[in-house]
Chains A and B, each alone.
Chain A
Amino acid sequence: MIEMLKVSNLTKRFGGIIAVNDVSFEIKKGEIVGLIGPNGAGKTTLVNLISGFYSPDRGKIEFNGKNITKMRMDERAKLGIARTFQNPRVIPNMTAHMNVLYAILGSEHGKELTMTEAGAEAIYYLDLFGLLKKRDVLAGDLAIYELRLLELARALALRPKLLLVDEAMAGLNPAEAEAVSKLINRIRNEFDLTIMWIEHVLKVIMRSAERVLVMHYGRLIADGKPEEVVKKPEVIEAYIGEEEV
């Protein structure tokens, strides 16, 4: 397998804080990689760097062998990098259907679609995430669980190659989290996706991810199989004081 994403010595500072500190890792095509770490570890910042939201102070990001470090966010999206937002950023005064439809029409592959085709495709993604009944509900009126699903549906509708999921589980009850977890696995298989999946808590990601990266204070402190990673003293140390791992 070839590596899809290669991050080398990535560093991002905000004033005195080094949010991401000399981070290097690779993700292979088809992998589901979990990224965990306590609050403020730099996970979201890393997503923002990969998706092009921020530009790094140092380091290099390669996507399918291409150096994308200096590329704009929309150009990276066109290459096939999609993301979800930790705090769902759907468009509140559009319906769920419109949110997905606009994503399709704005995206690269949407250029070839007519409005009707794009509308039908949007329905397909809503259905996939169990949101068909909510299609005409304004996104601002959806529950948090549905918002997370809508974020995923919208990101998937861009037909990405690499999907960056920033905390799909936060605020969900165990049954909902289980459902989301199953969905993420399912879409990886059906859509031939590579997924980097960020979660605050390790437990939920253990079952799904084949590989886990652990961040702490901006540094990458572990990279390996979930069951090996949890045994590492650094990881246990990082999570001391946290209620659950």
Chain B
Amino acid sequence: MPKIEPRRGKIVIHLLGRKYEWTVEPRYWRNPMIGLALWLTLPLLIYATATSVFHYHPIALLSTLIFANLLIMMAVPFNLQVIGTGRLSFGPHFFLAVGGYTAALLSRDYGVSPLLTLPAAFFMGAIIALAISPITIISRGVYYVLITMLLPFILGEITYWRSDIFGAETGIPNVELLFHTTGNVTLDVLIFVYVSLAIALVFLFFVDRTLRSRYGLMMGVINEDEDVALSYGINVRWIKIVTFTLTSGAMAISGWFLAHYQGSFSGPVWLMPSFLIMVLLTATLAGKGAIYGVVVSAYIVATLREITRVSLGEFSVVVLFLILLTLLYFLREGFWGLYRKRRYREYEPSIRVRRKT
């Protein structure tokens, strides 16, 4: 029996009388370029080797990558939202659906091109978020959870009630695809992988810049203690409203992508709690307020989902959640926490000051 000992920064595995140490915090990871290169070549690698090495249909593997990137597209703005509003929303998938419907309806009914449905989806998400943003100021704790949980529920009901517009479970068909298909389905999916990866990268970039900016620091204080933030003279309301609005708009872009990737959009599929839970788990597994951890956790969540789906069928959801809960138990602070714990100061803006004596 292997004995696995998770330690700070490394995992020690005892197996067959031998000891293996696996450093989870390798120094070479610190160069983001290596991670980025790995991330960028992974789809190509899978495209090339899926059939020969994995004996698996490449499309299934590539779709898993797309799902992982979709989780990143949701969890990265979500984490920023949690920091900037100091509240945990249970309705991120609502904004995905808003973006999806906006893009699908504009495309099917008015023939608007994907390039224009993109800003439309963003603005629709942002405007709805702005309209309900006072909840980030008024409500706290369970009330906030309840209100944000009701949003996707209500939208789900509406899609059935006005199935003439939203098409209920069938959704909205005949949505223009993002690009002209190449004729090779696998290649098309590969291109979609890269599109989703590009969006995920853009989100990471923006969120990273925001967190490093002065506003990011202010958000950090709001996240820790709103009253303290106010006592510093930080306009907490304004930051919360702007954060909620913009991050919700960003989440709507995930819906836009889905609509133009699948050629249709069906809200109820995404408004289901199981998708919400995967987004929440991705965000949580990444570690509190961590955005690079999201990349790792999204790929793990998506891979586990695919494995359990194939091997266990309908039972998969239960097993998947059990696996993820176990992971959460061992990684209380998420993947990034492993790294942060030892070197928390590196992730604070670092300042070297020499004192004149």
Query: Chain A interface (Cβ within 8 Å of chain B)?
Result: 51-53, 72-75, 77-78, 82-83, 89-91, 93-95, 97-98, 101-103, 105-108, 111, 115-116, 119-120, 123, 127, 132, 136, 155, 158
Q: How many residues of B contact A (CB 8 A)?
A: 25
Which residues of A lie under 8 Å from residue B228 when comparing CB positions?
89-91
A77 to B231, CA, bound (A): 6
- Minimum CB–CB distance for B291 against chain A, Å: 18
Known A-B contacts A105-B217, A106-B217, A115-B351; A51 and B231 likewise in contact (beta carbons under 8 Å): yes
A73 to B236, CA, bound (A): 10
A155 to B344, CA, bound (A): 25
Which residues of B224-244 have CB atoms within 8 Å of chain A's CB atoms? 224-225, 227-237
A52 to B236, CA, bound (A): 14
- Minimum CB–CB distance for B237 against chain A, Å: 8
Give me the 10 closest cross-chain CB pairs, A-B, nearest first: A119-B351, A77-B233, A106-B232, A73-B230, A78-B233, A91-B224, A106-B234, A123-B353, A74-B230, A120-B353
A91 to B236, CA, bound (A): 16
Closest residue to A52 on the B side, CB-wise?
A: B230
New A-B contacts (19) at CB < 8 Å, excluding given A106-B229, A116-B351: A52-B230, A72-B237, A73-B227, A73-B230, A74-B234, A74-B235, A77-B230, A82-B231, A91-B228, A94-B224, A97-B351, A98-B348, A102-B220, A102-B221, A106-B233, A106-B234, A116-B353, A123-B355, A158-B231
- Minimum CB–CB distance for A10 against chain B, Å: 20
Closest residue to A51 on the B side, CB-wise?
A: B231
A136 to B214, CA, bound (A): 21
A132 to B227, CA, bound (A): 26
Which residues of B lie under 8 Å from residue A91 when comparing CB positions?
221, 224-225, 228
- Minimum CB–CB distance for A131 against chain B, Å: 13
Q: Is the CB of B231 within 8 A of A73?
A: yes
Which residues of A lie under 8 Å from residue B313 when comparing CB positions?
none
Which residues of B lie under 8 Å from residue A72 when comparing CB positions?
230, 237
